[in-house]
Structures are given as C-alpha cells and as structure tokens.
C-alpha cells in the first residue's frame, strides 16, 4: 500500500467469515485480530506486508466450567501458573479436565483480548503432577507458544527411577522418530530390596516430545517408578501412581519482560523415599 492505512479501514471484506467493516471492528475490539503475532487495536496503522490473523472465539457453552479447586502458584493479568494434580487430564473431551477448571480458579483478564476461558499452552501427562503454564489472553497464547517453540522456557522435572544409573548425562534417543534431548542429574540414591536401588533424579528436557522423559529414562534401563507404560517386567509399583513431577518453570514474561520463576515442592510420596528433599 502507498500510504499507511488503519487496520479497521483495511480488513473490512478481507475475511470470508466476517464480511462487513462493522463486524470486523467488533472482532478487533474483542482482541481477535493480530498483526505480526500481536493483538492489534482499531487504530493500528498498516504499511504493507504485515501478517494479519483472525482468531475464532469459542462460546462459553463449548467450555463447561468445572468447580474443581486448583492451587494457583502465580497469576497476573495475562498468564498464570497452576499446580496440576496427578490423575487428571489437562484437556480433552471429558468434563473433568484442568482446562475446564481454569475459569473457576483464575481471575479473568481485564485486557481487551481476554480469553473467554483461560488456555493451557503445554501439556503434562495424565499421571504427572506439577506446574502448568496458562494463557489468559489471545496475545499471551501466541507469545507463550513462541517461547516454547524457541525453547526459551526452562523446565525442570523430578522423578524417582529404579536401577543403577550414571550420576549425570544427556539422553538423545529419538521419540516418535523425532529428535529429543534430556539432561539429567542423580541427586540421591537409596537401596531397595525389590528394585535394587531408587534414584531421585533431576531432569532438564530440551525438547517437548510426548512421554519424552518416560521414554528416555526407560531407554537407559532406569524406568520411572510406577510407570505403567515403560516399566520392566515384574517391577511395576502399583497404587502409588507415577513418580514424575514438573517442579519448576522459568522464563521471561513476553508481555512485561520480567523474569518469572516458580518452583513447586516435591509431592509427599517422593519425600517418603527421600525425606530430606
């Protein structure tokens, strides 16, 4: 374009789903239109070459509110970090999910692009406990996803494994035919009559493949205690769940540029084996 043009003047008729200028203005006011990855207002000027995206907004009925009390570890106007208990899905078709409980536990953002229902921006397995990052606005969904894609979120996990293992190392076994990298460090080892020994292991995944930590630890012969999928034959501990915990998240808030660092203590079942941790 030869001269800068207001976003509200330009986008009328651009998208098939909303053909009128008035309809597009409403979409912009709701924070559903982003320019180059950032939610934009009606007064935004375009100079040409920008990438404009129109997001869809789900109806409230699409996300039933679950009155399940969650521990909120951190919250500001555009994101939150909650503690996910073991034995609950992050999202899915069932009503009992973390995603459906977020609106009940979090304060709705006052931003113009606030989400009707806050949204998890990564996953933890059903049996895994720990910290989960949540977006509260359309802008933060895009920005936080970019942080994960660029590997700018430092994630730390703790697990209890069984079997002798080197005190530290890097595991690079492919997961689902994709490159996967996990750095680990053994913090403590306790003898065990049934399992030979139990290890408290600190884990630093550099990639985020499905079941990555479980697959990686099993691949070096030291599966996670209580893992129904990747245990050694005859060595499945039943009734205690999976000993895998997402213990810390650290990243630079893409909206405020402040460093956010949150840590969650190890679950009680970990501390029964390793009392001093």
- Known catalytic residues are 125
- Taking a C-beta distance cutoff of 8 angstroms, is the pair 8, 28 a contact? yes
Which of these, 248, 269, 260, lies nearest to 204 by C-alpha position? 248
67 Cβ contact list (under 8 Å, min separation 6):
101, 104
* Distance of alpha carbon 62 from the chain centroid: 21
Q: Which two tokens stand for residue 126?
A: 């059903």
DSSP bridge pairs for 259 = 252
Contact 36, 51 (CB under 8 A): yes
Q: Which helix (H) or strand (E) holds 103?
A: helix 98-105
* CB atoms closer than 10 angstroms to residue 39: 24
Cα atoms in the 13 Å half-sphere on the side-chain side of 54: 17
């Amino acid at each position: 374009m030869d001269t800068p043009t207001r976003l509200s003047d330009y986008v009328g008729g651009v998208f098939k789903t909303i053909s009128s200028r008035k309809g597009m203005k409403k979409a912009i006011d709701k924070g559903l239109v982003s320019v180059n990855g950032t939610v934009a207002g009606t007064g935004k000027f375009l100079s040409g070459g920008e990438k404009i995206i129109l997001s869809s907004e789900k109806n409230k009925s699409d996300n039933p509110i679950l009155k399940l009390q969650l521990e909120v570890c951190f919250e500001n106007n555009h994101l939150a970090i909650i503690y996910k208990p073991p034995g609950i899905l992050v999202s899915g078709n069932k009503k009992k999910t973390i995603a459906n409980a977020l609106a009940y536990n979090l304060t709705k953002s006052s931003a113009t692009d606030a989400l009707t229902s806050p949204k998890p921006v990564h996953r933890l397995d059903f049996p895994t406990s720990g910290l989960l990052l949540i977006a509260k606005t359309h802008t933060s969904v895009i920005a936080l996803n970019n942080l994960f894609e660029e590997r700018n979120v430092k994630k730390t996990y703790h697990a209890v494994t069984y079997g002798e293992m080197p005190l530290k190392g890097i595991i690079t076994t492919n997961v689902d035919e994709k490159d996967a990298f996990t750095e680990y460090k053994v913090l403590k080892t306790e003898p065990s009559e049934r399992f030979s020994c139990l290890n408290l292991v600190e884990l630093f995944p550099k990639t985020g493949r499905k079941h990555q930590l479980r697959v990686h630890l099993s691949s070096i012969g030291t599966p996670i205690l209580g893992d129904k999928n990747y245990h050694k034959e005859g060595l499945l501990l039943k009734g205690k769940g999976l000993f895998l915990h997402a213990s810390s998240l650290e990243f630079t808030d893409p909206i405020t540029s402040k460093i956010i660092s949150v840590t969650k203590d190890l679950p009680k079942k970990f501390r029964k084996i390793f009392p001093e941790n």
